[in-house]
Structures are given as C-alpha cells and as structure tokens.
Amino acid sequence: MARFILKRIGLGIVLLWLVVTVVFLALHAVPGDPAAILLTSEGSGGVTPEALEKVRQQLGLDQPVLVQYRDYLLGLLQGDLGTSFRNTSSTVASYIGARLPNTLELVFAAALIAVVVGVPLGALAARRGGWIDTVISTLTTLGISMPVYVIGTFFVLIFALQLGWFPAGGFTEFSSDPIEHLRKLLLPAVALSFGITSVVARMTRSAVLETVAQDWVRTAKSQGLPRNTVFSRHVLRNSLNPVVTTLGLEIGSLLGSTVLVERVFTWPGMGSLLVDSVNARDYPIVQGVVIVIAALFILINIAVDVLYGVLDPRARH
C-alpha cells in the first residue's frame, strides 16, 4: 500500500511541475506588457521609455524568460508564490488566502448536495424502474447538458428577481450573519451542483443495476432476508466504489466551474480573482491561482485513488 501511495504522490508532483511550466510559458507568450498596462492603469500620463524600463526592472520582467522561470521555481520550492504586479506590497499568497476558503466552501457545498441528492435518485431509478427511471434519467440528462452559467442565470431570474426568495448575489461573512451567509451560498451551490448531481445519479444507477445482477445478491435474497436489508447492505454499499471515484474527479472539475458561478453570483472566490488578474495581466496572481487549483485537483485525485485502493485492493495493481 505504501508503494502505491508513493507512486501516486510522485506522479502528482510531476503533473504539478508540468502545470507550472505550461502556465508560466503561456502567460509570457500572451501579447501585452504588464509594465505598460500597470503604468496606464495608474493614470501617470504618457508612458515614457524610462518609466517603462524602471517598472520592468522592479517587476523582474527585464530578465530573460528562462531566468524568470528559474527564479519562480526556486520561490515555489520555498513556498513563495510571488508578489502582485498591481500591488507590490501584497503577496500572491495573501490574495489567495483571502479567496480560497470561499471557493472551497462553495465547492464542498455543491459536492454535499450532489451526494445527498444524487445517490438516492440513482438508487431509486435503478430499484423502481419504469416511469420513475425514465423521469430521473431525463432530468439527469438535462442537468449534464445545461451549462452552469445558464442554470445560474435562470436561478437569479426566478428565485431572486421574480420570487425574491434569495439574494441575487453578493457575500456576507459567516461570523457577522450566519443566516444571510447561507442564503447567499445556497443558489450558487445548487447551480454548481446540477451537473455533478446528475453524474452521481447516473453512475449510482448503473452501479446498482450491475450489482443487483451478481450471484451473491441472489443468494442473499434466497436466504429470506428482507428486500430493504438486501438492497441497503449488499447492493447499495457495494455499488459505491465507482461513485466515490466519479465524485472525486467531479469535485476537482468543480474547482474550474466556480469561475462562471462566482461571476454570475458575485461570489468573491478564486474564479473571480483569476478573471480580474487575467484582465490586468497580473502574472503572479494568475500563476498562483492556477497552481493552487491544479494542486487541489491533484490532491483530490490522489486521495480518491488511495481510498479506492483501500476499498478494492485489486485497484492497487
């Protein structure tokens, strides 16, 4: 088991290094000089070559790309994500530290909704069949096919503007007003969960149908055990392995989907920080956000692989 875990960690480190390299080179290939954009945004009038060169030196952009890449990697090894171009007195870690908890809260709220709703729906569709299976399958197909920003916009229009049940967006600290915080969290979390709930429901349905056909399930039925006991103890529990794997992968994908949801509901998370930083050509923050999201995605997948290896020893090989 230790060898299995070490192999997954080693692969994760290699993947993270590839992400860092690709993001660094891609950002430096984007047209536009961050120094010129910074001077223009500060309203300093005409951008003189002397002022431009001075800012480039302050930001380290006068160095060759390979030198910048080396320095950036050395900083990462020391836990330094760099300093913002827009505010040289603020570190990238401080920006991310202020936004990351909000994004993680949104992601795990959506994942919780997916488990609480998706697993029972999939089990119900597989167990009942007939028109119930048809209705649930149709709803899950719609959930997978509808883009998250369409669902979010629909929620704002209906539940916020028309019915007035929830705020249209914004953010309130949990410590200052827990009820208002949860009210503002619910709509974006449900919108974000639509796709993953549909995937979990469909995966649960398929796994349950496959497990029901196993010989040991028929043996349990022949022993006279109640149907509910057979289903809960022998069918559903043994159907959750592929669901766990799918859920882990989808949670990682949710980290990317938060960009659209956070913009629709003005939720101050990593996604909105990433978009604002791209528009401002703030390379260090863009790199930091992408690296943190990639690291979380890789960690989640390693955890899922390890959990799957614990549940099913055959997966270790």
Taking only the tens place, the pLDDT of each residue in 125-177 is: 877 777 887 888 888 888 888 888 788 888 888 888 888 888 887 888 888 88
- Domain 103-268 homologous superfamily, CATH: MetI-like (1.10.3720.10)
Q: Which long-range contacts (CB under 8 A, 24 or more apart) does 46-50 make?
A: none
Place 58 in a pLDDT band, splitting at 50, 70 and 90.
low
The confidence score (pLDDT) of residue 184 equals 86
The confidence score (pLDDT) of residue 312 equals 59
Report the interhelical angle of 283-311 vs 270-279 (nearest 10°).
150
pLDDT at 316 over 60: no
The confidence score (pLDDT) of residue 32 equals 63
pLDDT at 202 over 70: yes
Place 264 in a pLDDT band, splitting at 50, 70 and 90.
confident
The confidence score (pLDDT) of residue 251 equals 79
Q: Are 151 and 194 in contact (CB under 8 A)?
A: yes
Token digits for 116? 């609480």
Return the H-helix or E-strand segment holding 147.
Answer: none
Average pLDDT over residues 267-289: 82
> What DSSP line would sit under 29-98, residue for residue?
HSSS-HHHHHHHHTT-SS--HHHHHHHHHHHTTTS-HHHHHHHHHHHHHTT---B-SS-TTSBHHHHHHH
User: Which one is predicted more confidently, 15 or 64?
Assistant: 15
Q: What does pLDDT average to over the chain?
A: 78
| 42-46, 129-133, 295-299: which is most confident | 295-299
**DSSP 8-class letter at 301:** H
Average pLDDT over residues 20-34: 74
The confidence score (pLDDT) of residue 21 equals 86
Average pLDDT over residues 237-247: 75
| 15-19, 37-41, 48-52, 278-282: which is most confident | 15-19
Q: Which residue has the tokens 């099913």?
A: 312
Q: Find the farthest-apart pair of alpha carbons in the chain and give their distance in angstroms, rounded.
A: 88
CA 293 to CA 263: how far, in whole Å? 17
* Backbone phi, psi, residue 19, to 5°: -60, -45
Average pLDDT over residues 266-281: 82
pTM of the model: 0.75
SS3 call for 189: helix
Q: What angle do CA 13, 261, 259 make, to 5 degrees?
A: 35
The confidence score (pLDDT) of residue 308 equals 66
The confidence score (pLDDT) of residue 1 equals 67
pLDDT at 65 over 80: no
The confidence score (pLDDT) of residue 229 equals 67
Q: Are 234 and 220 in contact (CB under 8 A)?
A: yes
User: Which one is predicted more confidently, 110 or 245?
Assistant: 110
Place 233 in a pLDDT band, splitting at 50, 70 and 90.
low
pLDDT at 33 over 60: yes
Place 299 in a pLDDT band, splitting at 50, 70 and 90.
confident
The confidence score (pLDDT) of residue 84 equals 77
The confidence score (pLDDT) of residue 315 equals 56
Domain boundaries, the chain: 2-91, 103-268
Place 314 in a pLDDT band, splitting at 50, 70 and 90.
low
Residue 255: CA count within 13 A, CB half-sphere: 22
pLDDT at 297 over 80: yes
Average pLDDT over residues 220-237: 66
pLDDT at 113 over 80: yes
